[in-house]
Amino acid sequence: MATLFDSYRLGGLTVPNRVVMAPMSRVRADDGGLATPSMATYYAQRATAGLIVTEGAQPSLIGQSNPGTPGLHTEAQVVAWRQVTEAVHTNGGRLFAQIMHGGRVSHPETTGMQPVGPSAVPAVGDVFTPAGPKPVPVPRALDTEEVPEHARSYADAARRAVEAGFDGVELHGANGYLISQFLSSNANLRTDRYGGSIANRIRFAVEAVTATVEAVGGARTGIRLSPGGGFWGVRETDAAELNTALLDELARLDLAYIHLEATTDDDVLLGLRKAWPGTLVMNPVFPMGPKQTGHTDADRWLGLGADLISFGRAFIANPDLVERLRNSLPIAPVDEATYYQGSDTGYLTYPAYQYTA
């Protein structure tokens, strides 16, 4: 059986280990969605990961979910991201940009626009705004002729990501954001070619991925999915059938990987592993649940057929996580109060493991 520390051929890259840093919003971007020197340091500190997937970057202003997140839709944002990609590459790392369109999970106080979604159905919960958390508003349902432009926005952002020096991109198809909303059986109440049947509900995801592959190539393209996940009130009542159908369509595109979250039972996830002929990145524990991914979880899923394992919160407080896992060193706890605080505290202030004589 493969171990976490074996190398792997991922798309056009050879990664030195099978540890992936999962995308995590840290909301440290400057005004205008610009990456900062602190972001460059943060990702460079973690460059020993086999692959880093960045926090979600919005592909358009209307696609922005939270304030303080970076973008990939202006030339200034491309320039700002170069300091991040150069720092990671200088430290020997590899970096994919996650492209995240928030869809209905947004607010006019953040973007200046009414959020959009597949249907005029609001998300469940409060969303961050510049003035603090507020209830998510009712989105405007996209007209049929508008939908392709939002699918193409992922491809446009992917082109900018490659221009900025990223090794590839991951489309955020999980966790209740726009692609996930189209896949949903309750956020998507459309009666046109993008709604109703499974074949119609997967169409937006397939179009977004296809456009991205045409823009930057399959070897530079991945997608993250959360089968059956209930984030922001999204439901998939037919998660196994829906996601299997989606993977069948995506299998034709020779993607770098599929990134699955453990948001449903093992039987469904193992069925999706069997259905997917390419590389599988597995996030073995429920995102933001009480448990963080550990070495035992990783080994279990490598044994079940995953090719790489993504770790989220453990990377926040452990920039040297790969070394800690390799040498069975203690995993430092994270201070949740600093997740989204905005300063370098709880961002750049976690040290590598301190060995004693």
Mean pLDDT of 232-261: 96
Asked if the structure places residue 357 within a domain, the reply is no
Asked if the structure places residue 1 within a domain, the reply is no
Asked if the structure places residue 347 within a domain, the reply is no
Burial class (CB in 10 A: 0-12, 13-18, 19+), 96: buried
pLDDT for 357 beyond 70: no
Q: What is the pLDDT of residues 324-350, one digit of tens each?
A: 999 999 999 998 889 887 899 999 999
Structural domain total, the chain: 1
CA 90 to chain centre: 23
Range of the domain at 135: 8-338
Asked if the structure places residue 25 within a domain, the reply is yes
Highest mean pLDDT pick, 251-260, 279-288, 295-304: 251-260
pTM tops 0.95, yes or no: yes
Lowest average pLDDT, out of 134-138, 148-152, 352-356, goes to 352-356
Strand partners, 96: 53, 168
Asked if the structure places residue 354 within a domain, the reply is no
Lowest average pLDDT, out of 47-56, 209-218, 277-286, goes to 277-286
Mark 168-198 as b/e (b = at least 16 C-beta within 10 Å). bbbbbbbbbbbbbbbbbbebbebeeebbeeb
pLDDT for 356 beyond 90: no
* Domain CATH code at residue 322: 3.20.20.70
Q: Which of 43, 177, 194, 347 is catalytic?
A: 177
Does the active-site annotation cover 177? yes
